[in-house]
Structures are given as structure tokens and as C-alpha cells.
């Protein structure tokens, strides 16, 4: 008689209290002991610079809503109008009957925004990165990945079944050596442009030159650069005038654009290949048309209202200067500011003390960041007032937060 059969005959537990539940309890206990167990905490308000959570009103420094568009009236109105026209669900993948004119309008608008030949939508940045890489490279090929790339790029590399060469963070000399020393049918370099947990910016011009010197393709993840960098907000590639020299640029609709979904800006040939081969695109129900319409409206705001980016960068500069005045390392490179504290318990305790001071900033712990680098991750928004920024700085000073 098996253990599970014996339990059922003894009347112990239910279908949810079987073998997997035993495994789960063991693993949850281990996570708790290391300060790594996660918990959900729902908001009772729209996303914004000030939120209601757990019965408290807090100034929010944990959101990727960099331009404050998640609750924008114009974006919400566009979504509502599309909801009336198309309904909620799309019912199928785009290759079946889930395709709508709203999807094509958004792709055309994003292609113009990115100055790209073509754009293809995905349901999330994670879906994009885990779909694009296996569609382009496989066994016999090599993919070269920055050591601090986002988990979605890491998993996309693994799923590709290509040889994965991880080069030290932002080390272009090491990348160049690896490109020269690694035999492969195809070589693809992948990197974030703004690294989501550190806020630093990739040495993109040097990476482009290394790829060109070694005949490698280049894919960049602009998730935390779109809407933040560039004269029109199109990201680091635009800021450095490198759009035409980067093969694929992945951007999300869920951060500065305030919605949900992702896209890749690339050539028509690559986009057409992804339509046939990128599994998350082929096998996922399409994004709701209302989300597409909202994103189209958000792109119009990003490109048409540069004052939003000016307010964001005013806040970034003020926060960076304030951190330096507190003796903390800080550079105004992006909207992301890490304060590395070391062990999970220190980060959790600091986040709790800041919350008592009215500031919501979540502790970031492994595996999101490497062991020994648990941190507070502050994200600035154009929707923050200078008063919000100063509140955060004063709270940091009062609770005595400093680098580990």
C-alpha cells in the first residue's frame, strides 16, 4: 500500500494534502528560515505614487510605473473605448482568431516609435524573451549573456539549447574574447540596457562594436529604458543612435507605458520568423484589444509629452544627490536606485522601518539578486512630487539605512 493510499484510507487530509503538499511545506519552512519566503500584498488603490495597502496610505517607491501612466485618464479612456468595441477576451491566439485591428495598429505605432521595420507583440516581457531566443538559436549555436541579465533572458538562453556563455557584468573585453574563442554556427549576444536590480546602464556602443567585429547578432532588453531614456523615450538605443545597429530590441508595455504586454522591434524577416516559431506567441491567447489600445495611447503620451520625462529626471537627480548627501553611492543613470544591505533579514528590517515612516519600498532578495546582495530597490516616477522624494530621503536618514 502506498503512503498516499494509506492516508486516504485513514481519512487524512484531502487531494490538496498529498505528496506535493509535503514537499511544499518542507520547502516553505526552509525558505522561511533563510528569510526568503514571499507573500502577496494586494493594493486597495490604483497604481500610483501614493497607494493604499494593508490599511495604510504609503508613498510608493517600488513600482515600475516610471511615467505615472498606469492610471492615466487618457490611457484608461482608450482602454474603455476598445473594451466597448472588442469586448474583453480575444478567445484564441493571434494565429487562430485572436488577431484584431487593435493589435496591428499598436504594432505599427510602436514600429514608428522605435524607428524599426517591424514590431511583434508578446503577452509579457518574460514571454518575449523566452520565445525569441529559442526561435533564433539552438544546438550548434552560442548565446552570450551578461551575468546580471534578467531572469527572462537567462531562461530564454536555457530554453534555446544553444551553448550559453555568461560573461562578467558589463565586461566588453571578456565578451570580445568569448566571441573570438567560441566556435558556433550562429552567435547571439543578449543584454539588458538598464539592469533592473542595479539601475546601471550597459556599455552598449562597445557591445555593438564587439558584435560587428565578430559577426554576432545583438538582442537588447529595453524594459527599464523605454520611456525613460532617449529624446523621444525610445530607450538607450535611441539615446545612443544605435537603433539600426541592434538586431532586436525588446520593450515592455508594462513599465513606463503603464499597461501589460511586450514587443520586439526588429526587421520584417525576423518578425515573420517569430510569428511561425516563437512558442509563447504561437501558443498563447492574444492580448486583449483593450490593452493594445491603452498602450497605443500611452506611446502617444510618451512621445508627445516630453515634460513627463523632464519631471522624472528632475526626481532622479534630486534623489541621487540626496543619497550621496547621506553617504550612499548613487548615480543618476536610470530610475532605479539600489541600496545593498547584504543579508535578507537586514533588507526586510529596513523595509519595515521605512514603511513605518510612510515609505513603501520592498526588500529584494535572492534569487532575484545574488546571495549576499539583498537590497532596497527604489524606483522613481514622474508622478512623484519633490515632497515625495524628500520624504524618502528623510526616512532613510532617520532610520539610518546605509550600504552593507
Active site residues: 196, 224, 255
Q: How far apart are CA 178 and CA 174, in angstroms?
A: 6
* Helix/strand/coil for 321: helix
Q: How far apart are CA 167 and CA 145, in angstroms?
A: 6
> What Rg value do the Cα atoms of the chain yield, rounded?
22
Instruction: Decide if 375 contacts 369 (C-beta within 8 A).
Output: yes
**H/E element holding 324?**
helix 306-325
Residues 6+ apart with CB under 8 A from 246: 204, 208, 218, 219, 220, 237
Instruction: Decide if 118 contacts 111 (C-beta within 8 A).
Output: yes
Q: How far apart are CA 8 and CA 277, in angstroms?
A: 45
Across the beta sheet with 142-146, what order do the strands follow?
Answer: 118-122, 262-266, 248-252, 217-221, 187-192, 142-146, 163-167
* Helix/strand/coil for 87: coil
154: nearest Cα among 184, 168, 133, 135: 133
By DSSP bridging, strand 374-379 and strand 336-342 are antiparallel
Q: How far apart are CA 186 and CA 179, in angstroms?
A: 11
**Residue 288 has what DSSP assignment?**
P
281: nearest Cα among 157, 143, 119, 109: 119
Amino acid at each position: 500500500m502506498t503512503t498516499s493510499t494509506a492516508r486516504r484510507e485513514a481519512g487524512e487530509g484531502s487531494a490538496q494534502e498529498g505528496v506535493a503538499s509535503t514537499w511544499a511545506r518542507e520547502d516553505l519552512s526552509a525558505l522561511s528560515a533563510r528569510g526568503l519566503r514571499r507573500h502577496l500584498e494586494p493594493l486597495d488603490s490604483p497604481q500610483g505614487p501614493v497607494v493604499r495597502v494593508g490599511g495604510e496610505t504609503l508613498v510608493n517607491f517600488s513600482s515600475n510605473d516610471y511615467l505615472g501612466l498606469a492610471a492615466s485618464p487618457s490611457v484608461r479612456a482608450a482602454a474603455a473605448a476598445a473594451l466597448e468595441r472588442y469586448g474583453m477576451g480575444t478567445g484564441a491566439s493571434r494565429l487562430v482568431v485572436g488577431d484584431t485591428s487593435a493589435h496591428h495598429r499598436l504594432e505599427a505605432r510602436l514600429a514608428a516609435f522605435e524607428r524599426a521595420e517591424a514590431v511583434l507583440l508578446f503577452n509579457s516581457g518574460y514571454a518575449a524573451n523566452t520565445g525569441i531566443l529559442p526561435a533564433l538559436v539552438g544546438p550548434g549555436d552560442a548565446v552570450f549573456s551578461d551575468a546580471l541579465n534578467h531572469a527572462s533572458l537567462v531562461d530564454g538562453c536555457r530554453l534555446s539549447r544553444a551553448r550559453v556563455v555568461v560573461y562578467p557584468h558589463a565586461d566588453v573585453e571578456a565578451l570580445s574574447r568569448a566571441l573570438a574563442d567560441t566556435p558556433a554556427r550562429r552567435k547571439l549576444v543578449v543584454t539588458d540596457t538598464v539592469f533592473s536590480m542595479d539601475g546601471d546602464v550597459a556599455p552598449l556602443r562597445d557591445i555593438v562594436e564587439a558584435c560587428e567585429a565578430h559577426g554576432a547578432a545583438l538582442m537588447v532588453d529595453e524594459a527599464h529604458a523605454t520611456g525613460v531614456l532617449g529624446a523621444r523615450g525610445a530607450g538607450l538605443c535611441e539615446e545612443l543612435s544605435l537603433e539600426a545597429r541592434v538586431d532586436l530590441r525588446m520593450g515592455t508595455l508594462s513599465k513606463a507605458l503603464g499597461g501589460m504586454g511586450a514587443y520586439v522591434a526588429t526587421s520584417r524577416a525576423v518578425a515573420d520568423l517569430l510569428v511561425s516559431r516563437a512558442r509563447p506567441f504561437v501558443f498563447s491567447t492574444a492580448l486583449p484589444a483593450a490593452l493594445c489600445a491603452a498602450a497605443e495611447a500611452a506611446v502617444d503620451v510618451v512621445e508627445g509629452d516630453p515634460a513627463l520625462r523632464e519631471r522624472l529626471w528632475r526626481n532622479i537627480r534630486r534623489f541621487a544627490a540626496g543619497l550621496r548627501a547621506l553617504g550612499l553611492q548613487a548615480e543618476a543613470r536610470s530610475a532605479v536606485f539600489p541600496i545593498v544591505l547584504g543579508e535578507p533579514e537586514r533588507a526586510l528590517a529596513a523595509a519595515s522601518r521605512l514603511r513605518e515612516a510612510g515609505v513603501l519600498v520592498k526588500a529584494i532578495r535572492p534569487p532575484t539578486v545574488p546571495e549576499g546582495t539583498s537590497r532596497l530597490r527604489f524606483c522613481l516616477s514622474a508622478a512623484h512630487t519633490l515632497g515625495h522624494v524628500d520624504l524618502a530621503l528623510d526616512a532613510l536618514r532617520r532610520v539610518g539605512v546605509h550600504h552593507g
